[in-house]
């Protein structure tokens, strides 16, 4: 089954809502990165959050969220566009902070992330990226919730989660995002929050076969809303040989000379693990290009 998100809007109630299922995506991430159970839960929650943040974007905009904590998982990066295309990676895919006895956070996501900051960078096709830094809270859900409410200053509610099976892959993953419409004075969000708290967590509902559209339907019972769209969510990497070349140029003359002396370079894309090979001839060409550009600058 394909992953997707659904978007609805309740105009009179002044709320928009997005719910998604990301089970296949999370398992693809787990397989690509050969993640431990903890790492699967961390990247699963983060990439689901990324997909939800992406759903708030206007077309051609992009968002990147970096969970930069001092915990054993290291940095966790997710990126999304407005079309449901997401990618992500984590530094330590072997991290294990499982806490079987703990009913809250059994996969040890909070401990794996540690303390630090969430750095969100939005490319809104302006001359500068729109950047924000908020503290890491208790796990991915709380961190993203704090970011949306504090940094974006829009009353929001987000919940992401995964259910792991015995083989270490997820049997369900997904999330929900509720947000007040700009000028809303209605207090529907508080009501929805209460209803959500009474329901099983989103990932449990998905695991039980309740699909995103049904979760929203149950949540919005008695509230008038319009069904806006259903959109697929999938892993797409934006890397290319050209982009890797640009990155090598940016690394500077000294680094390139070092790579040439080393007999070539293999660049591994953090996100999709595509390997880009550069032999000495390739690197010399890149160096020429770099030095050529420097000459132009001096004119
Ligand atoms: Zn890639």
pLDDT, tens only, 184-238: 666 899 999 999 999 999 999 999 999 999 999 999 999 999 999 999 999 999 9
Q: What is the pLDDT of residue 187?
A: 84
Structural domain containing residue 266: 241-298
Residue 156 CA to ligand 1 center (angstroms) comes to 32
Domain CATH number, residue 215: 3.55.30.10
Q: Let me know whether 205 and 268 are in one domain.
A: no
The answer to whether residues 268 and 275 touch, using CB atoms and an 8 Å cutoff, is yes
Task: Return the CATH number at 285.
Answer: 3.90.1280.10
Distance from the alpha carbon of residue 114 to the mean position of ligand 1, in angstroms: 27
Query: For 18-28, what is each residue's pLDDT tens digit?
Result: 999 999 999 99
Euclidean distance between the first and the last CA atom of the chain, given in angstroms as a whole number: 58
Across the range 268-287, mean pLDDT stands at 94
Last residue of a domain, one of 235, 263, 287: 235
Q: What are the pLDDT digits (tens) for 92-137?
A: 999 988 877 767 788 999 999 999 999 999 999 899 999 999 999 9
* 210 and 272 co-located in one domain: no
- Tens of pLDDT, residues 37-75: 999 999 999 999 999 999 999 989 999 999 999 999 999
> What CA–CA distance (Å, rounded) separates 134 from 55?
20
Whether residues 17 and 165 share a domain: the answer is yes
Question: What is the Å distance from ligand 1's center to 69 Cα?
Answer: 23
77 CA to centre of ligand 1 in angstroms: 13
**Dist CA 297 CA 299 (whole Å):** 6
Residues 227 and 262 in one domain: no
Q: Are residues 33 and 58 in the same domain?
A: yes
Query: Which of 65, 223, 215, 86 has the alpha carbon at shortest distance from 144?
Result: 65
Residue 296 pLDDT greater than 60, yes or no: no
Same domain, 150 and 275: no
How far does the centroid of ligand 1 lie from the alpha carbon of residue 88, in Å?
10
Residues 34 and 156 in one domain: yes
Q: How far is the CA of 267 from the centre of ligand 1 (A)?
A: 10
Q: Distance from the CA of 68 to the center of ligand 1, in angstroms?
A: 21
Query: Closest Cα partner for 54 from 120, 133, 153, 128?
Result: 120
**Same domain, residue pair 209 and 175:** yes
Burial class of residue 99 (count of CB atoms within 10 Å of its CB; 0-12, 13-18, 19+): middle
Q: How far is ligand 1, taken at its centre, from the CA of residue 237, in Å?
A: 5
User: Mind listing the pLDDT tens digit for each residue in 162-179?
Assistant: 999 999 899 999 999 999
Verify that 128 and 186 share a domain, yes or no. yes
Domain endpoint, select from 235, 251, 272: 235
pTM of the model: 0.91
pLDDT at 297 over 90: no
Ligand 1 centroid distance, CA of 236 (Å): 8
What distance in angstroms lies between residue 212's CA and the mean position of ligand 1's atoms? Answer: 29
For ligand 1, the distance from its centroid to the CA atom of residue 155, given in whole angstroms, is 34
Angle at 48 between CA 92 and CA 182, to 5 degrees: 130
Q: Are residues 56 and 195 in the same domain?
A: yes
Q: Which residue, of 186, 211, 235, is where some domain finishes?
A: 235
Same domain, yes or no, for 217 and 257? no
183 and 272 belong to one structural domain? no
The CA 272 to ligand 1 mean position distance, Å, reads 4
Provide DSSP, 123-157: E-SSSS-EEEEEE--SHHHHHHHHIIIIIS-S-EE
The count of domains in the chain is 2
CA 92 to ligand 1 center in whole angstroms: 18
């Amino acid at each position: 089954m394909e992953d997707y998100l659904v978007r609805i809007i309740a105009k009179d109630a002044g709320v928009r809502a997005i719910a998604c299922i990301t089970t296949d995506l999370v398992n693809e991430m787990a397989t690509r990165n050969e993640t431990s159970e903890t790492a699967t839960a961390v990247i699963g929650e983060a990439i689901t959050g990324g997909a939800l943040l992406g759903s708030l974007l206007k077309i051609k905009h992009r968002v990147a969220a970096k969970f930069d904590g001092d915990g054993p998982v290291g940095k966790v990066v997710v990126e999304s566009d407005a079309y449901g295309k997401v990618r992500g990676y984590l530094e330590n895919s072997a991290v294990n902070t499982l806490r079987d006895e703990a009913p809250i956070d059994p996969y040890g996501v909070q401990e794996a992330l540690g303390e630090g900051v969430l750095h969100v960078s939005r490319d809104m096709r302006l001359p500068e990226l729109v950047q924000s830094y908020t503290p890491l809270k208790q796990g991915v859900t709380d961190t993203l919730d704090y970011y949306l409410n504090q940094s974006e200053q829009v009353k929001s509610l987000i919940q992401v989660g995964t259910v792991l099976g015995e083989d270490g892959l997820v049997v369900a993953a997904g999330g929900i995002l509720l947000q007040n419409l700009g000028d809303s004075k209605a207090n529907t969000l508080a009501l929805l929050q209460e209803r959500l708290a009474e329901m099983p967590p989103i990932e449990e509902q998905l695991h039980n076969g309740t699909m995103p559209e049904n979760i929203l339907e149950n949540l919005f019972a008695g509230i008038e809303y319009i069904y806006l769209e259903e959109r697929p969510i999938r892993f797409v990497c934006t890397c290319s040989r050209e982009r890797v070349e640009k990155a090598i140029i940016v690394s500077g003359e000294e680094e390139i000379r070092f790579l040439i002396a080393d007999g070539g370079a293999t660049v591994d894309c953090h996100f999709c693990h595509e390997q880009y090979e550069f032999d000495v001839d390739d690197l010399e060409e890149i160096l020429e290009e770099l030095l050529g550009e420097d000459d132009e600058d001096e004119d």
